[in-house]
A and B are shown apart, each in its own frame.
Chain A
Amino acid sequence: GDSVTQMEGPVTLSEEAFLTINCTYTATGYPSLFWYVQYPGEGLQLLLKATKADDKGSNKGFEATYRKETTSFHLEKGSVQVSDSAVYFCALSDLGYQKVTFGIGTKLQVIP
């Protein structure tokens, strides 16, 4: 079945540091890929998405590129802020769009 692998963390960074959260996936067919973010006490919000190979999703300074050859969708941000502290989930949507599979989530802590 489909699966998504990401580090659980926590990842602790100083403000303005560079962020990378790795995400790799296993899927039959050609899935769409997502990053969701969950702030404390809230539900998940879509951060960015990509639907085909070499697509780059971007939002709020975050970026991720759909790499089919390495089955990866790593999340990056050049300069993190304290307000970016949250849990980040990598996810994929199968070809039938009927099911979304999530990674375990990576907790990010940004300290001033």
Chain B
Amino acid sequence: KAGVTQTPRYLIKTRGQQVTLSCSPISGHRSVSWYQQTPGQGLQFLFEYFSETQRNKGNFPGRFSGRQFSNSRSEMNVSTLELGDSALYLCASSTREDQPAREQYFGPGTRLTVT
């Protein structure tokens, strides 16, 4: 099976712009989660989607939004970019939500730099 893919891998944007990141989960995985990884904060949970519905949301401002399509692919959008949004954005997919020890499979991430 192909792994989780994220596009683009690298992105440079200017303050005030908006950006859209894409994630394609492993085939058959219906749950997609997004994380922000920074050196000082570690991995911070952004949100999770399952069957096109947002099931859980972390403590991020409304500038961060996402959606999931019927094929389970997910996009994350950040509007009005700030310098502090520079980070590695990781996407993770997993299988049925009722399995114990739900393992997440991570993509390589999108490195976003805001200048």
A-to-B contact residues, CB < 8 Å:
32, 34, 36, 41-46, 49-51, 89, 93, 97-105
Which of A93, A100, A101 neighbours the largest number of chain B CB atoms within 10 Å of its CB? A100
Q: Which residues in B have their C-beta under 8 angstroms from that of A44? A: 90, 92, 104, 106
Q: CB-nearest residue of chain A relative to B91?
A: A43
The contact of B43 among A41, A97, A98, A102, by CB within 8 Å, is: A102
In the docked arrangement, what's the CA distance between A44 and B91, Å? 10
15 contacts between A and B (CB under 8 A): A34-B101, A36-B106, A41-B108, A43-B107, A43-B108, A44-B90, A49-B103, A97-B97, A97-B99, A97-B100, A99-B45, A99-B48, A100-B45, A100-B92, A103-B42
Q: Which residues in A have their C-beta under 8 angstroms from that of B63? A: none
Task: Bits for B26-57, please: 1 = Cβ < 8 Å to A, else 0.
Answer: 00000001010000011101001000000110
Inter-subunit contact B90/A100 (CB<8 Å): no
Residue count of chain B within 8 Å CB distance of chain A: 25
Q: Which residues in B have their C-beta under 8 angstroms from that of A97? A: 97-100, 102
Q: CB-nearest residue of chain B relative to A31?
A: B101
Q: Contacts A34-B101, A43-B4 known; list 14 others, CB within 8 Å.
A: A32-B100, A32-B102, A41-B108, A43-B106, A44-B92, A46-B104, A97-B100, A99-B48, A99-B56, A101-B45, A102-B42, A102-B45, A103-B42, A104-B41
Which of B33, B35, B43 neighbours the largest number of chain A CB atoms within 10 Å of its CB? B43
B25 at the interface (CB under 8 A from A): no
Inter-subunit contact A32/B101 (CB<8 Å): yes
Question: If the complex has contacts A43-B4, A103-B42, are A98 and B106 also in contact, measured as CB distance less than 8 A?
Answer: no
Q: Which residues in B have their C-beta under 8 angstroms from that of A104? A: 41-42
Question: If the complex has contacts A43-B106, A98-B56, are A105 and B43 also in contact, measured as CB distance less than 8 A?
Answer: yes
Q: Which residues in A have their C-beta under 8 angstroms from that of B42? A: 89, 102-105
In the docked arrangement, what's the CA distance between A84 and B56, Å? 33
